Every structure is written in C-alpha cells, then in structure tokens.
Structure 1
Amino acid sequence: MQTTSRQLPHHKALSGGTQQPRTPQPRRFDPIAMLSNSEMQAALGSGALMLIAWAVGGWSEILSIVIYVISYTLGGWSKAKEGVELLVKERDLDVNLLMIAAALGAASIGYWNEGAMLIFIFALSGALESYTMERSKKDISSLMALKPATAVRIEKGAMSEVAIDLLVIGDLLLVRPGELIPADGKVCQGESSVDQASITGESLPIEKSTGSEVFAGTVNGEGPLYIEVTKSAENTLFAKIIKMVEEAETELPDSQRFIKRLEAIYARVVVAATLLLITLPPLLLDWSWSATFYKAMVFLVVASPCALVSSIMPAMLSAISKSARKGILFKGGVHLENMARTSVVAFDKTGTLTEGTPQVTDFIAGDGYDRNELLAISASIENMSRHPLAEAVVRKAAEENLELHGVLESKSITGWGIEGEIDGQLWKIGKSNLLDELVKSSEGAGLEYWRSLRQQLESEGKTVSIILTDDQVAGMIALQDTVRPQAAAAVRKLQALGIKVAMLTGDRAATAQVIAGKTGVDLVFADLLPEDKVIQIKALREQYGHVVMVGDGVNDAPALATATVGIGMGMKGSGAALEIADVVLMNDNIEEIASTVSLARRSQRIVKQNMIFAVSVITVLMISNFVQGIALPFGVIGHEGSTILVILNGLRLLR
C-alpha cells in the first residue's frame, strides 16, 4: 500500500477529544454487584420481613399478619406479575403462579410463616438465577462497551473528529496510543502493539506495522497508527460479533424449548391434581378439610418444576460464556447442544488446515516461451482474481520486479480457473486436471512431459496449475501451502475424543494426501467443487451422524450451512462464511475446537445431572407427602433448595 502521496500530520497536533478504551476485566464473584440486583434486594427484603413478622407474632398477631402481607408482596410481586401476564396473554400456567398459589393457600389456613418462607426462597432462587445468567451473558456482551463512537479522520492534512457511521472505505484515520481502533483497516504508517483480546481472545498484544490488518474495538498500544479504512461500520468484524451476541442471547436450545412446552402442560396437571386433592379425600377418606388443604399445598409446592426449568440455561450460558472468553463465539445454545453430539469434524484445507497463503515454488515455461514474459502474463491475468493461488502468482511477479500487462475480457471459469485476453491473445490459467482431457500437445513439448512433470510436483505436495493459450500448454505453475503449526495437534485432540476428522478440498487427490499425511486426518475428499462439498457433508451425516464443518471461504458457505454445526474462521474468514457459520473462531485457532467439543459435552452432562436430580427430588418429596406427610417448610426448603443447587451446578462451567 502506497502512502507517500498522503500528508500524514504528526499525531501531537491533534486537538480533538480522546476516546479511552474500557477494557473488560476478569470477572469474579462480586457480592456488591449481586446485592445491587433489584430482584435480590426484593428477595432479601422479603426474608427480613418474614423474620420480623415471626418475631412479633408472639405479642401482636395483627401486626405480624400485616408484616407478612408486606413480605409476600415484596418477594412475590414480580413473579406474580409474570405469571398473571402469561395467563392473560397466552392462557398458560407456569411455576410462578403455582408458587404464589401455594403461598396464598398456606396463608389462608393460618400458615403465614410457611407461605412467607416459600415466597422468600422462591424469590431468592429466581434472583440468583437472574444474576448468574446476567453474569454469564456479560462475558459475551462486555465487548459491547468497546464499541467505538468517534474517529479522528485526516482530510487534506487536516484532522477532525467524526462519528463512526460517517466513515467510508478509503478514509485515513489517526489512532493515538491507548485509544480504541475505530474501524477495520490496514496500517498505512506507524508501529505499535494492539490488544486484540476483545476480538480474538488472545492474551498478548499483537505487533502491527505498515500493511498489518487491524480491527475495530481493539486497543492501540504504545505508538500512533495511521489506518486506512477497509470496511464500513456495519460490515466490520466487530459489528458481526455484536450481531452474534444478540443471536446468542435470544436463541434457545431444543432441550430448553421442550422444557418450556412441558412446563405449561405440567403446570396444568399439577393444578388439576391439587384441586382433586383438596376435594376428594374429605369426601372419600373422611379427612378433615384443614389437613387435606395443607397436604394439597405441600403437594403444590413440591410438585412444581422449578428445578427442572432451571436445569438447562445456566449451564448452557456458562459454557457459551467460557467459550467467549477464549475467542469462540456461539450464535445460540442450540449449536452448543449440537456440538456435544459431534461424530465427525470436516475441515476445509486451504486457510483452515493450512495457512492459506501459498507460495510459487516452481514456474516452468514451455519451449518457445520466455519464462519472465510468461510469468508477467500469468500474473496479469491472475491479478483479476482474489483467489489465494492467484495472489501467490502476482506476488511472485512482484518479487521479480516484472511489469504487468493490461488485460481485456477477463472472467472466472467456475470450478477451474480464470481466463483473460492480452494483446489479442486469449490465455487461461487453472487446474491441471485439464491435461487429462487435452489431446493436443503443446509446442515443443509432448503432453506426456507435462503429465509426468505434474505427477512429480504433486508427489511433493504441491498444487499444480497450467497455463494455456490456443488450447496448448504454455507453462506450468507449482504452488505449496504451509500447514498450520497447530493443525496436527488439533486433529490428534479431536481423535482422542473419538471423533473422526475429514478434509474437504478442491485440490487434486495427490496434493490432498500429502497434507493428510502431515496432519493425520482420517478421511480425505479431493477434487471437490462447492456443491461436491455439500454432497460429502450430507454423506458423512448419513454415515456417522452429527458433522461439524470448519471453513473460511465463500466456497465453504454451502457446506457450513449443510453441516450440523458450521464453524467459521473469524480472522481471515469471508463475510459469507461468518454469516452462515453457527460458531466463529475469532482467533482462527483450530486447536480450540477439541476443547470446545469437550466443553459442550460437559455442559450436556451437567444438564442431564440437573434434570435427573430435579426429577428425583420432586418424586421423593411427592411420595413422602402422600406416604408419611411432610411439613410445608421442609417441602419448601427441599424443592427450592434443589433449584438453587442446579443453578450452582451449571455455574461450575465458568471456572
């Protein structure tokens, strides 16, 4: 990128306002924050009033009842309001109304303290759940606080502070030390370290210099940076993350949807059973009305599915929160749930298992062609494409200081390569599989020579392209991509979890096998067009079950959408891949996929533990109530205590 034509003023000349970052701090248990929660304050106030009412009951029953009423109102108002709104709007029952009904029922037969205790513990468990779920979400949404508001733009040597929304691609910005980077862009001038933790989860700052890519919402370090904007505000990586956060907070997993549907049905059954318990025993078993009503209220308390309802979301949100701290963003709990069932992880090769920046290793010109001229022609045509292989050819020509030609009628040939016209002659560059279809020999060299050369180059793990003109081979290009340093370790970790690893690539089989040998993948599928990748993903799903697809390019988008869970590469991934992906690796570290699957499986185990525990407690308390009879306070503590325990069990994932 050339910057000499721009006037870059010294950064100390700026007189505009500064924009200091608000870097999120590690989250620990904060009792002050918990007590500032309005639900928690109401619950604790209700409990305090319950104790006061109990204490004054010995000398003033009327005053005691008045205080109990206030305690009921303070602790139960918000839950009662939620229950009534659901009943009026959707004609559905939930646990909120069941608990309020049980408390009022207890008070109606003189058990004011037991009802107040029920309200207090129910409100306390609800406040604890709200607080912990909010805490979990903050690990994702804390990056919202890092959204830049203004930027310092340089125009004709003058600086002005403008709103982020007014920036356009090509604007030149100044970011001083310690400030937020306001837009995605490339460094035009300056050197500094940038804290990218909010985007990638990396703990150490990354060194940036001329040509380096930077992202909105990250924090500049010790040196001033001049940055050219490469993306508008709504298309920045940061904006995409915000969108993913919003989706993650609203999308419920299938298990939670099932529990929500079950809650409404179950609540109706409990109400019907309670009414039968109130009316039938006095008529059929000669029980007293007060004893029957008391036992029915105990049943109403212990049969309510509070703990069951709270079994899932705290655990799911804790897992999503923990992943977010490591730079892995889920777009919803349903994807975490699906990831726990992973049987196969399929990787795209280029840019995923490999670095995605191939280098030209061999450039062979056919007889009658000047090597440098042919390289210049090839680079000129490839300059019309943004494919990594094309960019490698252009870089090779630039390294050798070759001058490019003007190209007419350039167009992409889907699934093969590119063609273009130079000085009236049509040139084509693309996959060497066309050699198997050609019948004519190139000038000065037989077709068998090129086939033999291709075989040799591919046996070395190189990708081979051919240069054609007039349907004759003019030359051959060999390129080689670098395997990611963590690729082999990422594959081994997945295999250790009992997961098969597949590689999908558009490269030839020989090239794919070399990469497979270096990474250790189990299954290799080569020579694939984008639609072929979709077919292979469907076949893997039919054979193995749940399939995770990992990719970074536009051509991976259909396969990402077809897989059970699609994982996109956040740093180098295309916009289409990020939009369609269900999970995004913000730091492109594929080694984290295995730990994410492990975390997803742990979350599912905890959910199952919670559900089994919740159902067991409900069952034991219900049986005890009918067989032997239990006191209402014991039923309250047993039932609501189990609710608190399942919430805390889910929070273990935050450690």
Structure 2
Amino acid sequence: MNEIKSTCAPAVSVKPNNGTDWQQTLKRHGEGIAAVVCGVLTFGAWMTQSSGTVWSFVLYVLAYFIGGYAKAKEGLVTLFKERELDVNLLMLLAAIGAASIGYWFEGAILIFIFSLSGALESYTLSRSYRDIESLMDLRPETALRYKDGVETRIKIEELSVGDLIIVKPGERIPADGTIREGVSSVNQASITGESIPVEKEKDDTVFAGTLNGEGSLLIEVGSESESSLFSKIIQLVQDAQSEMPPSQQFIERFEGLYAKTVVGITLLLMLIPHYALGWTWSETLYRAMVFLVVASPCALVASIMPAMLSAISNSARRGVLFKGGAHLENLAGVRAIAFDKTGTLTMGRPQVTDIVPLQDYSEEELLWITGSIESLSEHPIGRAITEKAQNTGRQLARPQNLQAVTGFGVVAEFEGQTWKVGKEAFVDMASENKELFGLLSRLEAEGKTVIFAQNDRGIAGLLAVQDTLRAEAKETVAQLRELGITVVMLTGDKRSTAEAMAAEAGVDEVYAELLPQQKVESVKALKEKYGKVAMIGDGVNDAPALATASVGIAMGNAGSDVALDTADLVLMNDDLTKIPVAIRLGKKAGRIIKQNIAFSLGIIILLILSNFAQSLTLPLGVIGHEGSTILVILNGLRLLKSS
C-alpha cells in the first residue's frame, strides 16, 4: 500500500473501512483530538501551576506525551530507519529542552501548536483522498460467462483464457477475444480511433473496452484481465497521494541537511555565547532553545504539499483526476496542447451532415423515408439518420419486411416500393451518371461516410454522415489560446477531414494521416519547439504520444484502458472545458506555493535575528514559528475552494 509521508504530519494511507464507525472516526480525527486534549491539559497545568501542587507537573507530562507521541514516533522512525533528522525531532528536542530549564508551559504550547498544525496538514491529505474517492460511482467490472448451458455473472478477474462470455447489445466488451456466434457492429473508437462502428461476425477479433452495438455476441476469451476498473481507480488515488512534485522532493532533501545544521548550530549556541558574550548559562541555554524552535523549517516543509493536494482535490471534484502533484506542476507550465481528433475533439459518433435528394424528392421527404426505414435498425448510422428525421417533427412510418444485411445496409418495403438503404456496394450504381460519382468523391474527400437510398426507379438520393465536434471544443480551444497556449491537432484521419475540423474548432496547427509512432515524433517536435507540451487522447493508438508528452491527458469515459494507464491525468467526465480550468488552478497553486516559501523563509530569518538580539521570548518564538506553519497550510487550503 502506497503512502504519502510529510515531515510535518504523519502518513495517511488508503485503507478499506473495516472497523466500526467510532473506530474510523477516531482514526480519521485522532491527531486533531490529540491536539485538543494536549491544549486542554496545557491550560489545566497552567491554571494549577501557581498552587505548587504535583498536579501541574502531571498535567504537563500528559500534555507532552499525548500531544507529542505521534511526532516522537515518526521522528524516531526517521532517525533509526532512514538515519535522518527531521523537524519532528527538532520540535520535540526544543520542547524537552524548554522543560529542562524550567519552561514547561512554553514547551507544552510548542507541542500543542505543532500537533495542531500537523493535524491540519493531515486533514488536507485525508480530504484529498475522500474527495477523489467520492468522485466515482465505483462499479466492479463483470462478465456473463456461458458454461454448460448456464449463464453466470462473474468478476472479470475470474475469467480464464478459453471461457465463453455473452455480450448483450449496448454492453461494453469485458475481455479481448474472438467471436464464436453472433453478428453486431462494435464501436472501436477507444482502440483504433475509428469513429464509425465496425461490423463484426464469427471469427472476428474484438477488444476489451469496446462497445457492442445492436447484436448479441458469444465471445471466446483470448486473454486474462489483470485489473478491474475499481482497482484502477484506487490505484489512481494512491498515485495521486504518493507522488510528490519536484519542488517538494527538493524541500524533502533540503530538510535533512537543514535539520542537521540547526542541531549543530544549537549545540554551539549552548556553549559559545556564555564564553564569548558573557551570557549566563540560563540565558545561553534559553536562547539556544529559542533558536532550535524558530530555525526549524516546518513552515517551509508545509509550504507545498497541502497546497498541491488541495489543488488535486479541487480538480478531482471538477472531474479532473491527477495521478500526482508533479503533473499539476507540469500542466501549469505547458505552452502547447496536442489533441487527438476522433473521440477527443469530436464526439466519436456519426451525425447526418448532408442530404442530397434525386428523382423528385425533397430533402425533407428523402430524410423522412430513410429515417422511417432505419427506425427498426440498431446500427449507429441508422440511428443517426432516424434521429435526424425525428427532429423534423414529422411522424415516422413503419416499413414492412425489413431485412438487415450485415456490413451493407437494410432492405424493406415502404409505400409500395422496395428500398435499399446502405453503402455504395449495396446498391446498383451501374447506370448512374458521372455527376453522382463526382458528388460521392467530394463527400468522401471531406471524410464523410455516404449512405445511398435506392427504390424501384434507381438511386433516390444519398445522405452523408460524419463525426462532429464536441459542443465544448470551440470554447476550450478559445480559452487555451487566451492562456497563451498553442492548440494542435494530431490525427490519423485524412488531411481534408482534419483541416475542416480544425478550422471549425479554431485549432492553430494540424498534423494529419499519422500512425501512432508518427504521433510520438510529432509530440517530440512540439516539445523542441514549445517546451512543455500536453497531449490529450482516448485510444490505444494515442498511448505512446501520451507517454511522450510532458503531461498526458486521457478521456475517462471514452478512453481505452491503455490510455488511462499511460496518462498523467484523466478527464473523468470527458469535459474538455476542465482542461483550462485545471491549468489555471495549477498556475494558482504555483503562486500560492511561492508565497508560502517566501513567507516561511522570511519569518524564519526575522525570528532568528530577533533571538540573537535577545528580544524574542520562547512563547513568542513558538507562536511565530508554529503560527507561520498554520498560516501557510491555511493558505494552501484556499485551493480547496478555488474557482
């Protein structure tokens, strides 16, 4: 189980809810409870201190133990296992040192505020986990296994090579395999990038994650599933919590050296001022303890991760799931974004774009006839024609004797005539003129799929269908360009189709007719030209480019498993407008982190100088140092509500 470890707060791990409610509540809020109890005990000890009873001493010891236990444990583990000093040990040494020279109250206050700031940071970590977890409607992936004449619904992890599974119309195919019975159209856009579903029949290969169309299929499993959707989401959560951005990694490395330096200087301050400056031993030890408190880098260490995780949590609630803070940091610096076309900038499903009537039909009448005939069809192209016809408001009629010819089209009796609606190869084109062939060539050159309608008299007309831009595509591209980001399209489609879509969306540059490896080369060229480059895609063919980009972005709903695994962040709702929102959030997180670092360093320097000027008391040092830690954490928490 992966964990994220902060030096100012204990580790928070992703674990299942196995205990009772009160146990889980205690585990979740244990640090906060310990901090509050420490504060109450400290107040009680201070109130009884003047009475001279032993109760004051007992309450102080309890406050030290309850408030400092978690920090002492973490600090000692770091010391003995990693052979490193951290701020936890520095704070505890300072508190013990304060008590040793009679400043029990100041030491207790130090532990109280330190434990409170740690609880606040832990709240940030656990809040990030809960927000990401609550995003998902977690459903286990299952398959309908057919064995010995019995259908059994099982988890996909239980499937074995050679098992037979039934995939009903509209279901997602759960495993790679070969069709043994049935005929259907399968939407393979997530795998191949094709926007038009492919007709599949016996002995054809199908892939996990593709969407079955109108037919029922019996599939022989060809490979075992290594992970379920549920486990992948949990893994994404763990990755998001465990991966630190480069800036935090630097702070972590810096902290070890800094802590050793502080301890070394403190030891010198316990001796040198007494001999060199004539201070009393009491004053010398006191100033050394104040230095140990105020020079600790706790606020500096807490400057990054709370802010970063708050931003990740915020973006997760908006449907953008980062796999780690490093990717948020990188996204804020991108200068170009490359979009795949099919299923990313476009919807990935066909719509009627052209209606060309022949003979004596009008556009509306030809659409009504073909829509009525296709109303009994479950093919995606047929549904697109029917939906277009229904939008006219005219009641569709019912065809007679409809017969679907797999891979070609449909035949039906309609209003006394025999009609064929389907591909060019399905109709009789021998006697048609050159004008029709020219029209066909033009539409196909535009990347459109042409459907013919033929009656007893010949070709009655044709309709063209094409994938269309997502509703938010234009707005997203415009917002990205406002942010100074160059928008690029990478696609395997024909150049004419790609350029038409790019012009409609407002894309700056177009790279068309690319194979997966050529997409990788294009991303590399863009990185040389612009620096940091993001790539967004949805299919297996996009995965190499996603891995090559500075930041890989996958479409969560439409995306293939490989794309989701390869990407650095996932658009869970496939909403492209969330990309500029995430970029702005990343930039704001960067600004807040810089503010926190500058503020924490400034406070440390101010407190150290005040201590050497003998104008800083231990209580003020505690409040100044731990107060700055709390302030930088609260500043980072602003990103939870940032718009």
> What does the per-residue CA deviation read over 1:310-359, in whole Å, with 9 as the maximum and x for residues that have no partner?
11111111111122222221111111111111111110111111122346
Q: In structure 2, the residue corresponding to 1:356 is in which secondary structure?
A: strand
Is structure 2 residue 512 aligned with structure 1 residue 512?
A: no
How far, CA to CA, are the matches of 2:267 and 2:254 in structure 1? 20
Specify whether residues 565 and 525 from structure 1 end up closer, same or farther in structure 2 by C-alpha distance, changes over 3 A only: same
The offset of 1:499, in angstroms, is: 1.1
The offset of 1:132, in angstroms, is: 2.6
Q: In structure 2, the residue corresponding to 1:524 is in which secondary structure?
A: strand
How far, CA to CA, are the matches of 2:341 and 2:539 in structure 1? 10
Residue number in structure 1 paired with 2:339: 347
Specify whether residues 564 and 393 from structure 1 end up closer, same or farther in structure 2 by C-alpha distance, changes over 3 A only: farther
- Matched-pair identity in %: 53
Residue number in structure 1 paired with 2:525: 539
Residue number in structure 1 paired with 2:66: 74
How far, CA to CA, are the matches of 2:153 and 2:339 in structure 1? 44
Is structure 2 residue 549 aligned with structure 1 residue 563?
A: yes
The offset of 1:531, in angstroms, is: 1.4
How far, CA to CA, are the matches of 1:590 and 1:641 in structure 2? 40
Structure 2 contact 339–488 (Cα < 8 Å) conserved: yes
The offset of 1:479, in angstroms, is: 6.1
Q: Which amino acid aligns with 1:562?
A: T
Specify whether residues 291 and 169 from structure 1 end up closer, same or farther in structure 2 by C-alpha distance, changes over 3 A only: farther
Give the alignment's TM-score, normalised by structure 2: 0.70
Structure 1 contact 98–304 (Cα < 8 Å) conserved: yes
Residue number in structure 1 paired with 2:178: none
> Unaligned 5+ residue runs, structure 2?
1-23, 176-207, 210-215, 357-378, 386-398, 409-424, 451-462
Structure 1 contact 567–582 (Cα < 8 Å) conserved: yes
How far, CA to CA, are the matches of 2:38 and 2:538 in structure 1? 54
Q: Which amino acid aligns with 2:69?
A: W
How far, CA to CA, are the matches of 1:566 and 1:139 in structure 2? 22
Specify whether residues 68 and 88 from structure 1 end up closer, same or farther in structure 2 by C-alpha distance, changes over 3 A only: same
Q: Which amino acid aligns with 1:558?
A: P
How far, CA to CA, are the matches of 1:123 and 1:461 in structure 2? 64
Is structure 2 residue 565 aligned with structure 1 residue 579?
A: yes
Residue number in structure 2 paired with 1:377: none
Specify whether residues 349 and 509 from structure 1 end up closer, same or farther in structure 2 by C-alpha distance, changes over 3 A only: same
Structure 1 contact 86–93 (Cα < 8 Å) conserved: yes
> What does the per-residue CA deviation read over 1:603-639, in whole Å, with 9 as the maximum and x for residues that have no partner?
1111111111111111111111112420100010111
The offset of 1:509, in angstroms, is: 2.5
Residue number in structure 1 paired with 2:405: 403
Specify whether residues 228 and 341 from structure 1 end up closer, same or farther in structure 2 by C-alpha distance, changes over 3 A only: farther
1:243 to 226, 235, 260: 235
Residue number in structure 2 paired with 1:277: 269
Q: Which amino acid aligns with 1:110?
A: G
Is structure 2 residue 591 aligned with structure 1 residue 596?
A: no
Aligned ranges 1:91-106 → 2 under 5 Å: 91-106=83-98
How far, CA to CA, are the matches of 1:71 and 1:524 in structure 2? 66
Structure 1 contact 34–40 (Cα < 8 Å) conserved: no
Is structure 2 residue 326 aligned with structure 1 residue 311?
A: no
Is structure 2 residue 320 aligned with structure 1 residue 328?
A: yes
1:46 to 38, 52, 70: 38
Q: Which amino acid aligns with 2:318?
A: K
> What does the per-residue CA deviation read over 1:535-587, in whole Å, with 9 as the maximum and x for residues that have no partner?
11111111111111011111111110110011111111122111111111111
Q: In structure 1, the residue corresponding to 2:64 is in which secondary structure?
A: helix
The offset of 1:131, in angstroms, is: 2.0
Residue number in structure 2 paired with 1:3: none
Structure 1 contact 184–236 (Cα < 8 Å) conserved: no
How far, CA to CA, are the matches of 1:567 and 1:145 in structure 2? 21
1:501 to 484, 487, 490: 487
Aligned ranges 1:250-649 → 2 under 5 Å: 250-358=242-350, 403-404=405-406, 456-457=442-443, 460=446, 462=448, 480-649=466-635
How far, CA to CA, are the matches of 2:406 and 2:35 in structure 1? 74
Q: Which amino acid aligns with 1:254?
A: P
Q: Which amino acid aligns with 1:343?
A: R
How far, CA to CA, are the matches of 2:464 and 2:48 in structure 1? 90
Is structure 2 residue 143 aligned with structure 1 residue 141?
A: no
Structure 1 contact 459–514 (Cα < 8 Å) conserved: no
Q: In structure 1, the residue corresponding to 2:489 is in which secondary structure?
A: strand
Q: In structure 2, the residue corresponding to 1:482 is in which secondary structure?
A: strand
Q: In structure 2, the residue corresponding to 1:91 is in which secondary structure?
A: coil
How far, CA to CA, are the matches of 1:633 and 1:536 in structure 2? 60
Aligned ranges 1:144-163 → 2 under 5 Å: 146=138
The offset of 1:454, in angstroms, is: 8.4
Residue number in structure 2 paired with 1:60: 52
Specify whether residues 577 and 158 from structure 1 end up closer, same or farther in structure 2 by C-alpha distance, changes over 3 A only: closer
Aligned ranges 1:89-238 → 2 under 5 Å: 89-142=81-134, 146=138, 166=158, 170=165, 235-238=227-230
Specify whether residues 144 and 575 from structure 1 end up closer, same or farther in structure 2 by C-alpha distance, changes over 3 A only: closer
How far, CA to CA, are the matches of 1:169 and 1:239 in structure 2? 24
How far, CA to CA, are the matches of 1:35 and 1:394 in structure 2? 53
The offset of 1:295, in angstroms, is: 0.8
Tell me the C-alpha RMSD between the 2 structures. Answer: 4.3
Q: In structure 1, the residue corresponding to 2:335 is in which secondary structure?
A: strand
How far, CA to CA, are the matches of 2:40 and 2:62 in structure 1? 11
How far, CA to CA, are the matches of 1:183 and 1:113 in structure 2? 66
How far, CA to CA, are the matches of 1:537 and 1:149 in structure 2? 34
Specify whether residues 527 and 68 from structure 1 end up closer, same or farther in structure 2 by C-alpha distance, changes over 3 A only: same
How far, CA to CA, are the matches of 2:561 and 2:138 in structure 1? 21
Residue number in structure 1 paired with 2:458: none
Q: Which amino acid aligns with 2:489?
A: M
> What does the per-residue CA deviation read over 1:57-105, in whole Å, with 9 as the maximum and x for residues that have no partner?
1122543223212211111111111111111111100000000010111
Structure 1 contact 169–232 (Cα < 8 Å) conserved: no
> What does the per-residue CA deviation read over 1:495-553, in whole Å, with 9 as the maximum and x for residues that have no partner?
11111111111223222221111000111112222111111111111111111101111
Structure 2 contact 144–166 (Cα < 8 Å) conserved: no
How far, CA to CA, are the matches of 1:633 and 1:110 in structure 2? 13
Q: In structure 2, the residue corresponding to 1:357 is in which secondary structure?
A: strand
Q: In structure 1, the residue corresponding to 2:348 is in which secondary structure?
A: coil
Specify whether residues 105 and 405 from structure 1 end up closer, same or farther in structure 2 by C-alpha distance, changes over 3 A only: closer
> What does the per-residue CA deviation read over 1:105-146, in whole Å, with 9 as the maximum and x for residues that have no partner?
111111111111111111111112112321221111246894
Structure 2 contact 352–466 (Cα < 8 Å) conserved: yes
Structure 2 contact 157–225 (Cα < 8 Å) conserved: yes
Q: In structure 2, the residue corresponding to 1:590 is in which secondary structure?
A: coil
How far, CA to CA, are the matches of 2:559 and 2:85 in structure 1? 46
Specify whether residues 459 and 70 from structure 1 end up closer, same or farther in structure 2 by C-alpha distance, changes over 3 A only: same
Q: Which amino acid aligns with 1:54?
A: W
How far, CA to CA, are the matches of 1:613 and 1:567 in structure 2? 34
